Structure 1
Amino acid sequence: MGKTHEELFQVGTVTGTHGLRGDIKVRPLTPGSTSILAAQTLWLRRETEGDFLTYKLRKASVHKASLLVRLEGVESIDAAAPLKGALVFMSREELPDLEEGQSYWYELQGAEVIDRRLGSIGTLEDVFETAAHDVYVVQGRFGEVLIPAVDEFILEFDEENACLHVDLPLGLVDEAKAEQVP
C-alpha cells in the first residue's frame, strides 16, 4: 500500500554501509532520535522529487551517533551501497508516543513563535543540539533568535494553531533591531 507524502515523516539520511550483510548507517534527522526502532516499514528516496522505495525493516539498533538498519531484500554491501545519500522516511502512525509536553520536529517546524511580552517574534526555522539542550532557531522581526529549548523559556506549543509560546529572558533579543528588520 502506498503512502502519501503527508503520512510520512523524514527520520534520517543513509550515510553509508556497515559490514558485508547489507546493513546501512542512518544518521537521524534529529540527533539522538531512535524513532526508526519503532518502525516496521521504511521508505527511502534518492532524489528530492524521486519515487519512494518501500522496505520492511528487519533489524535496527543504535550505533554511536547513527542507527544500523537492515532492510528486507538488501542482503549484501553491493545492494546497500546505492542507498547511500537516500532520505529515510517512516509512517507517522508508527512514531512512538511522546511524553506530555513533547513534540516531534515536524510538528514544530514553521510554527509562529509568540513571546509573552513582545508578541510574535517570527517563525521556528531550525533546531540544533548542544551538550546541554536543544536550541530553536527563529527568523523574524529581530533577525535570527536562538532560544534554548528549556522549560524556563518554552511555555507551551499550541499544535492546533501551530504557535510556540515562549517567555524570553530580557536581553535575548535586541528590541531596537525590530525597527530595522522588515
Structure 2
Amino acid sequence: MAKKPSNLVTVGRISTVFGVKGWVKVHSETEPRENIFKYSPWWLKTKHGVKTYEVEDYRPHGNGLIAHLKGIDERDQAEALGRVEIAIDRSQLVDLAEGDYYWSQLIGLRVVSEFGEQPQDIGVVSNMMETGANDVLVVVGDDLSIDRNQRLVPYVPEQFVLSVELEQGIIRVDWDPEF
C-alpha cells in the first residue's frame, strides 16, 4: 500500500462494477467530466486504506463513464472498489486565474454575512451545488455561528460573494441571515 499524501482532493467516485473484465463505472466531479482521466495516479479511498491506481483505459458509456484500472482484471476485484472516492494530489490541479477557486478550496471555509449593521457568522461551507445559472454555497450553522440553520447562498462574486479569503478561511457575503 502506498503512503497516503496529506493533500488529497476528491474528484469523483467509483459507483459500481461494469461487466466481468474488471471495468468500473465512474462518477466524475470534474468539468468537463472526462477531465477526471487527465489525472494520474488516482488515490482510491477504500475500506482497507488509500491505494494508488493507474487508469489503463476509459470511455464514455451511456450517460456516464467507465474505466479499467491497471491490475484489476476480474469482476470480484472491481467489486471491492465499488462506492469509493477517487482523489488526486492537489499539486495535479491546474492553477486558476485570480479570483477563481476550486470547490474543494471553498468547502470548510467560514461564511460571514456583511448584511446589516454588524457582520454575522452564518456557518461553514459544507458543500457546493451546481444549479445551471450559478453555483451555490451550502452553508451549515455550527457552535460558532448565529444559529444551526442551513442556508443556500448563490456563489455570485461581486453581487453576493464579496470576498474569498483563503488564508483566513473566510468567505464574506452580502446575504441576509434571515434567508
Q: Is the TM value for this pair above 0.5?
A: yes
Q: CA deviation at 1:25?
A: 1.5
1:8, 1:21 → 2: CA distance?
Answer: 29
After superposition, the Cα gap between the structure-2 partners of 1:128 and 1:63, relative to the gap in structure 1 and judged at 3 Å, is: farther
In the alignment, residue 135 of structure 1 is paired with which amino acid? Answer: V
1:132, 1:103 → 2: CA distance?
Answer: 17
2:65, 2:163 → 1: CA distance?
Answer: 31
TM-score (norm 2): 0.77
Contact 2:113 2:177 in 1 (8 A): no
Q: CA deviation at 1:32?
A: 5.9
Superposition map of 1:1-150 within 5 A: 2-29=2-29, 35-47=35-47, 50-61=48-59, 63=61, 66-118=64-116, 119=119, 120-140=121-141, 141-142=146-147, 143-150=149-156
Contact 1:113 1:164 in 2 (8 A): yes
1:59, 1:99 → 2: CA distance?
Answer: 31
After superposition, the Cα gap between the structure-2 partners of 1:3 and 1:158, relative to the gap in structure 1 and judged at 3 Å, is: farther
Counterpart residue number, 2:161:
154
SS at match of 2:37: helix
Runs of 4+ in 1 over 6 A off after TM superposition: none
> Could you say what the CA RMSD is over the residues aligned between the two structures, in angstroms?
2.8
Q: CA deviation at 1:146?
A: 1.0
In the alignment, residue 103 of structure 1 is paired with which amino acid? Answer: Y
Q: Deviations over 1:93-135 (max 9, x none)?
A: 1123333322223221221112233513222122222232221
Q: CA deviation at 1:56?
A: 1.5
Contact 1:38 1:96 in 2 (8 A): no
2:124, 2:83 → 1: CA distance?
Answer: 29
Q: CA deviation at 1:44?
A: 1.4
- The count of corresponding residues between Structure 1 and Structure 2 is 170
